[in-house]
Amino acid sequence: MLQRTSCVDNIRIKQVTFASTLQIGDSRIINQFSRAIALQREAELFFGSEVNFSSYRAFTSPIPFEPIYEPVAIIRHNIPPLIKVGNIDIKGVSSSSSLHIGNSGHIHSEARVKHIRQLLPYGHEQDIIELNKLR
Amino acid sequence: MIFEVYNRELCVGNIIITGVASSSMVFVGDTETIQLASAFDTPAESLIIGPFVPLQSGVE
């Protein structure tokens, strides 16, 4: 039986973003999913919703998860039923990640990221100035 | 199979982490199952050199 108590004195965390969780206390099931298209252009020029997730294989290809089957009898002896942590200092938790203090049952998390960089052709770097004039 | 575990004293002083990202986790406690998956794609053809046009024309 899961019966240990987690004890954390201090938590210092700056950001929890994009389908992430900060869970203090026990949980039973955690399901997290996040997807992102990280489009980087040499100039600040974006057209809004210009692309579909389904166009890229990174978002459509299945991830083969093994079915959960554990025919093992586990006997736990939690002699001091306590997990003690002094300080936790984290800058950021992002993209389907989590910080969990306490016991849990089943955790399932998935993150998909497509990174695209778009640069101006050689000799056309000055076009950024022209683009800025148009804006 | 019988798996017998003796969890004795567990005491941690400080944990300092810069980032937890892309389907990762920091866990203080006990759990039964964990399934984490992450797909990251930045192939050579994702570097596009050319005029700035929308990635797909006509997508609303």
The pLDDT tens digits for B31-42 are 999 999 999 998
pLDDT tens readout for residues A30-79: 999 999 998 888 877 777 778 889 888 899 999 999 898 888 999 999 99
Residue B46 CB-density burial (10 A; 0-12 exposed, 13-18 middle, 19+ buried): middle
B17 vs B60 pLDDT, higher one: B17
Containing structural domain, residue A16: 5-134
Which candidate, A105, A108, A103, A130, places its Cα nearest to that of A43? Answer: A130
* A39 contact residues in B (CB cutoff 8 A): 55
Which residues have C-beta within 8 Å of that of residue A47, sequence separation ≥ 6? B54
Is there a contact between B50 and A116 if contact means CB atoms under 8 Å apart? no
Q: Which residue has the higher pLDDT, B55 or A105?
A: A105
Q: How many domains does chain A have?
A: 1
pLDDT the model gives residue A41: 83
How many CB pairs below 8 A link A and B?
Answer: 227
Please tell me which residue of chain A has the smallest CA distance to B53: A47
Comparing alpha-carbon positions, the chain A residue that sits nearest to B34 is A107
> Which one, of A34, A107, A20, lies nearest residue A68 by Cα?
A107
What is the value of ipTM here, to two decimals? 0.82
Inter-chain touch B17–A82, beta carbons under 8 Å: no
Q: What pLDDT does A1 receive? A: 55
